[in-house]
Structure formats: structure tokens, C-alpha cells
Structure 1
Amino acid sequence: MVSVRSVLKHYFIQEVSDLVRSILKKYNIKGGTFDQHFLIDAGYLDRIVAAAELSPQDTVLEIGAGIGNLTERLARRAKKVIAVELDPALVSVLHDRFDAAENIEIIAGDALKVDFPEFDKVVSNLPYSISSEITFKLLRHKFKLGVLMYQYEFAVRMVSPPGCKDYSRLTIDTCYFADASIVMKVPKGAFQPAPEVDSAVIKLIPRPAPFEVRDETFFLQFVAAVFSQRRKKLRNAILNTSSLLKIPDIKEIVSQLPEDFMNKRAEDLTPEELASVANMIFDLKSRNF
């Protein structure tokens, strides 16, 4: 027996799908370029908006607004939506759909290059090709909450525990800036055109670093260096990347670091432990210069 709920879900999915198809046809948009994969499943769109816990006081940033199917839902609940879109054809669609809406501002441009106005929350189906760069641009802004769509494998790397194959530089950098959790997995069939991989929605809550870091720039460089040699023990990873860390007397410094850290790989150390090693190197480096 088919439930009323399943019938309604099918109806709303079909309604959004038909809307997307009609817009794409009207503006002769093929999709697939500029990471254009339009979310057409009404259920996932509504769950993303619900996860953002929007209030009438919130200003929301949306990156990669596309044809506005998420924009429209955000605008119903937020004080203002700032929609950023790179593709000129999609910018035209957004203007046609929303120029009459008083609480939607459209910014045409590359999200990596434009200056973001102040915002309270960021809710986006991100262009996957710029996932890392745009995430860390965002994390250098002050905001309350992010609800962001990524490729599933990328999302898993953001939240992976130490010792797992997905634990990476991305994990450490994310942990330094924010608490991250996977809210939902989104199948490729929820998009049109369908991407080649599944996606996931991450909730990001920015907060102060949960561990002490002497120098943020050096810490992030250190993490990048040792994870570029992730299969080597930390001692060799540091020695092999001395040019990246700009430490000429690296052998002398490494000889003073704790053996229990030096004999482990970066992928087996917690973010706190990596910060501790980076702090020791930074202090020793500062004394020598």
C-alpha cells in the first residue's frame, strides 16, 4: 500500500524537477559546466534549509546559486540572501526570477575572488572543483553556521579520525577552524544532470581552535608539509620538507624533538599532537634566529 507521504514526496520531487527542466529549456542551459549539477529533489532541498536553522534575522550567503531552487527556499526564511554565481547565463536566470524579491542580492562573479559582504550563515551546494579553496576562504570570515554540499569523499575527509585512510591535511585544517559533521548523504540521482559521484552535506560551526598554536601560518604550513609525506615517519617527513618549512638547521631541531612523535606518521597523530610538534619546532626555530 502506497502511503500519502510517499505520494506527496514524489509529487514535490517531480514538481521541482519539472521546474528545473523548464528553466534549463527556457534559457538553453545544458548543465555540466562550471560544476553545474542542479539539486532537484525537494526533500533534500528542504532538509538543507532545515539544517541551517534560519531565523528572520539571518543574512545568508549562497555560493553557486545556479538557477535559484535553493535560493528561493532560503529567502522564505531569512532576512536576506546573498546569492553568488559565476556563470553569466545563470546570473540572468537569477535576475529574471528574483529581481522583484527585496531580500535577495545577486552577485555576479567568482566566489574565490569577490569580497563577501557580512553574513550570518552560509548555505550552499558548492562548486566541487573549488571545495577546498572556498571552504578555507569562508573559514576566515566570522559567521555562525555553515551548511555546505561537497562530494561525498571530500566530506568524509573533513571529519575522518586519526589513523584512517581519509585522515588528511583537510581534516586537520578543518578541525583547527570549526566543528564539522556530516548531516546527510545525497545520492547522485538527486541532481540534474547527475554527477558521477554521491554528495554529502556538512554542517560547519566555526569556533576558536581547541588546541594551542604558537603561529597559525607556520602550523598550517607544517601540516601541509608532513601530510605531503604521509607514509613516512614524522622525522623523515620533516627532514624531507625543510625547504617548505624554511628551516635551514632542521636536523639539529629534529634531534631535539620527542622520539614518540618522531617515530609515528602524521596520519597517526591527533590534531593536538601535530600542533604540539609544530609549536616545539617554531620555538626552537625562533631561538636559533
Structure 2
Amino acid sequence: MVNNEINEKLVECANIQKGDIVLEIGPGTGSLTNSLVEAGAHVIAVEKDPAMAELIMERFQDSGLVEVVNEDFMKWRIRTSIEYFRNHYSAKGIPFKQIKVVSNLPFNITTPVVKRILPMGDIFSSMVLLLQDEAAYRLIDMSPQASNYRSISLFVQFFSVAQYEMKVSRSNFFPRPNVDGAIISFNIKSALDYPSVSSTKSFFTLVNMAFAEKRKMLRNSLEHKHPPAKIRNALKSVNLDETARPAELTLDQFVALYNALDASKENHPVDCT
């Protein structure tokens, strides 16, 4: 449970307006849900725990603004379910637009949730999360050579514009955790705004391979996928040193390197998975 002032700050950071459709992951006892309802949002609350899901149903049944899904979000079929809700809201005369995600996430599922939501810019317009402070910095630190810079930093930058909104002292939580929290916002990009690569899936295969041993030089970490000469030529063609390491490259430089390695292929299938 979190101090209600923090819930109101989450609503404010998400710029919730009356009539917005909001996805809340893990509503728990419904303290954030209540702030969203007070702001006039239609809430789709996905709760794994059956007892908590029933509690949310009972607490907000008279509001007419909360739909409860008793499922594990990581197994929830997002696109199929959102299509159901599109029809559901349309039948009630509620305009259906892109969904905002607002959630006080369990700290241990932050990265998996981010990886599920951000590539769906056709469904979601923004996401505001309350999460562990250290995890927040890992997600938004876009500076090469920074201690938190890793593949997830590039993933976030590829699919969104992220911003650290504020630190949340551990004293705002009950029971009190051993770490501070933070509010972070994501303006989710549409596919037209992604960096230009032939396949996002293949691009992140390369990025993850590079960061698997981020202290290694790229020419060594990528040799399992590409011949050494091809890697050297690609590095040279994009003005990168042969001794370059993954933690030294910006997103744009990774995109350039990927495209240089990809240029020798005869076909360029478009894959937006």
C-alpha cells in the first residue's frame, strides 16, 4: 500500500482526464484504482490474486468505471482482450482510444512488464509506473559508459521517450520496504517513429548478444553470429573503432552497426515483432 498523495501524483503524471481508458496492473486493494476512478477514468484492472480481484470488484461495482480481469498479466492475451474491451466500451457508447497504463508495480516484474507494453504503441499511448528507484535508473539511463547502461536502456529508448518524474521515499509505503521508489513515465512511440531497422527482433538479438558480455569488444561478442571480417568492415563503415565495446555505443550507433551488418543480405524482410 502507498501514501495516497503518491497515487494522486501518479494520476497527475499520467495526465488522466475524464473518459480516459487506463490499464492498471496489479491493483491490490485498490488505492490507486480509487484515485483513477476519482479522476473519471475507465479502469481495466488486471489482478492475479483471486481474493484481491474479488475485493476490487466489490469495492468499485457501483462506480461503473472498473472492469476486473482475474489473470496473471504476464500470461494475459493483451491484443485479444483489448479487442474485447474495444467492443465492450463501444457498446456502452464510450469512445475507445489509445490506452494509458498506470501502475504501482511489484518491483520484481518491472522489466517483463516494460518489455510487453512498450512495443504496443498501436494500443498504448503512455505508461506511468511506480517502481524501485534503482530499477528506474536502469530503464532510463541512456548515457553510454554509465553504470546502469545496458540492453534494456536501449529497448526503452527504441520504443519510447522515458522520463524520471520523482523519487518516492520508502516512508510512503506500508509495509515499509528497504528501498526507495520512483515514478517514471514513458511516452510510447508508434511504429513510424522507431529507428529504421529491417527487423526489430533481429536488432535486439544483436543488442542482447553484445551486452551478454558487455566488457568484451564487439568484434568478439558478435563473432558467434557474423564472420570476423564482416564485423570489422561493418564497424569501420559506421566510424566505430575495432576495439569498441557495447557500453560505448548510443542507440543510433547500434542501429547503424546493425544496418551495416544487415546490408550484405539479399533480402530485407520487414518484421515488426
TM normalised by structure 1 equals 0.79
SS at match of 2:17: coil
How far the C-alpha of 1:143 sits from its partner, in A, is 1.7
Q: Which amino acid in 1 is paired with 2:218? A: L
| Alignment correspondent of 2:181 | 199
Q: Distance in 1 between matches of 2:264 and 2:118?
A: 29
1:73-112 equivalences under 5 Å are 73-112=35-74
2:234 aligned with 1:254: no
**Aligned length in residues:** 242
Point out the more displaced range, 122-131 or 136-145: 136-145
Note if 1:151 corresponds to 2:127: no
Q: Is the 8 A contact 1:253 1:285 kept in 2?
A: no
Kindly state the Cα deviation for residue 271 of structure 1 after the two structures are TM-superposed.
0.4
Q: 1:238 to 1:76 in 2, by over 3 A?
A: same
Which of 220, 225, 233 pairs up with 2:204?
220
Identity of aligned pairs, percent? 29
Pick closer, same or farther for the CA change 1:219–1:94 going to 2, 3 Å: same
Q: State the shift of 1:85 in Å.
A: 0.8
Deviations 1:58-99 (A, max 9, x none): 100000100000001101223410111111221122122112
* Aligned counterparts of 2:247 and 2:119: Cα–Cα separation in 1: 25
Letter in 1 for 2:129: L
Question: Could you tell me how far 1:261 is from its partner in structure 2?
Answer: 4.1
Aligned partner of 2:109 in structure 1 is 130
1:194-216 deviation per Cα after TM superposition (whole angstroms, max 9, x unaligned): 22211111110011445322221
2:213 corresponds to: 229
Q: How does 1:1-289 map to 2 (within 5 A)?
A: 38-39=1-2, 41-116=3-78, 117=82, 120-141=99-120, 142-160=123-141, 161-208=143-190, 209=193, 211-239=195-223, 242=224, 247=225, 250-259=227-236, 260-286=240-266
Amino acid corresponding to residue 74 of structure 2 in structure 1: L
| Distance in structure 1 (CA, Å) of the matches to 2:186 and 2:229 | 40
Whether the 8 Å CA contact 2:23–2:45 is kept in 1: the answer is yes
Amino acid at match of 2:198: R
Check the 8 A contact 2:139/2:156 in 1, yes or no: yes
Question: Equivalents in 2 of 1:279, 1:195: separation in Å?
Answer: 44
Query: Which ranges of structure 1 fall in alignment gaps of 5 or more residues?
Result: 1-37
In structure 2, C-alpha distance between the alignment counterparts of 1:266 and 1:183, rounded to whole Å: 28
CA RMSD of aligned residues (A): 1.7
Task: Give the whole-Å Cα distance in 1 for the aligned partners of 2:228 and 2:196.
Answer: 25
Structure 2 Cα separation of the partners of residues 60 and 182 of structure 1: 20
Query: Cα offset for 1:251?
Result: 2.2
Rounded Cα–Cα distance in structure 1 between residues aligned with 2:20 and 2:251: 32
Cα distance in 1, alignment partners of residues 246 and 180 from structure 2: 28
Question: What is the CA-CA distance between 1:285 and the residue it aligns to?
Answer: 4.6
Letter in 2 for 1:92: E
Deviation at 1:284, TM superposition (A): 2.5
Gaps of at least 5 residues in structure 2 are: 87-97, 268-273
Displacement of 1:110 in angstroms is 0.3
Q: Rg larger in 1 or in 2?
A: 1
> Does the CA contact (< 8 Å) of 1:185 and 1:198 recur in 2?
yes
